[in-house]
Structure 1
């Protein structure tokens, strides 16, 4: 599937307006990633609030600089999934317990309610959900530092 030809702009209310090749105008479109963890820059659908797809982005690099910037801004505003780079420590190896971690968004502590809140995504990725429903990503559990891996091993 190839990228649909379109242009994007924002209206005065901050909503995205998409104009396709045929000149049709769609207001309030939002980008939705098809594969948010494994391939975040590939396969993005532009959908209306009713869920109807009006454009497809095969790769973000297919877009003009302006459109790419608007899509990325919108995705960053809608998605919040900090990526854990280091596990500093846990309060206990029994759940519930408090995890102290370093992420791409800074240092934080969160409560892990149960072992079921750590889910494998693919062969190497983990998704950890805290007691407030915030999801933290470990992109590759085999590439994380030795100390963090040792802690993870106790929960997997």
Structure 2
């Protein structure tokens, strides 16, 4: 990755990528290679034509300005709240309504069936609610005891 590229926003708020060879791409979109397992590593800047124009091995290697622009663009595209605690489950038979605390505040979700609890790596889990919204549990073992006990009933 060249550290010589320029990244800015145009008047419409879209990202503009300028490369050392003089090429300029308006409306580039950052795309994570591994959004869950390695969110800070492997980000491509993809042009409007769908072609990758720049590969960034690690966001932390960028200066603060470029990193902030990319992180803001990623945040506006990505929506996967992370479950921090399971507060209450109304029924242990599906469909069931869950009250959870996420990194974005409290939420209520409806689990249609056990198949909506999808393993992710060694200790992670993706919970898909009845509206198709995906919630992430990064590490089941890091949850509090009550949350783990509730999850055990479904796993």
Q: Normalising TM by the smaller chain, what interval?
A: over 0.9
Partner of residue 38, structure 2: 39
Q: CA deviation at 1:49?
A: 2.8
* Partner SS state of residue 142, structure 1: helix
- Separation of aligned partners in 2, 1:21 and 1:142: 46
Residues 4-153 of structure 1 correspond to what in structure 2 (within 5 A)?
A: 4-5=2-3, 6-153=5-152
1:13-50 CA-to-partner distances (Å, cap 9, x unmatched) read 11100011212101110001111111100001111233
How far apart in 1 are the matches of 2:55 and 2:137?
28
Contact 2:26 2:48 in 1 (8 A): no
Unaligned regions of 5+ residues in structure 1, if any? none
C-alpha contact 2:17 2:28 (8 A) present in aligned 1: yes
Could you give the per-residue CA deviations for residues 107-149 of structure 1, whole angstroms, max 9, x where no partner exists? 1111111111110111111011111111100000011111000
Aligned to 2:141, the other structure's residue is in SS state: coil
Cα RMSD (Å) of the superposition?
Answer: 0.9
1:46-84 Cα offsets, whole Å, 9 max, x none, are 112332100011111221211111000000000011110
Which structure has more relative contact order (CA 8 Å, sep 6+)? It is: 1
Moved more, 143-152 or 46-55: 46-55
Instruction: Verify the 8 A CA contact 2:81 2:102 in the aligned structure 1.
Output: yes
Deviating beyond 6 angstroms after TM superposition, the runs of 4 or more aligned structure 1 residues are: none
Contact 1:44 1:56 in 2 (8 A): yes
SS of corresponding position for 2:73: helix
Report the number of matched residues.
Answer: 154
Separation in 1, partners of 2:141, 2:33: 25
Question: Does the CA-based 8 Å contact 1:4-1:56 persist in structure 2?
Answer: no
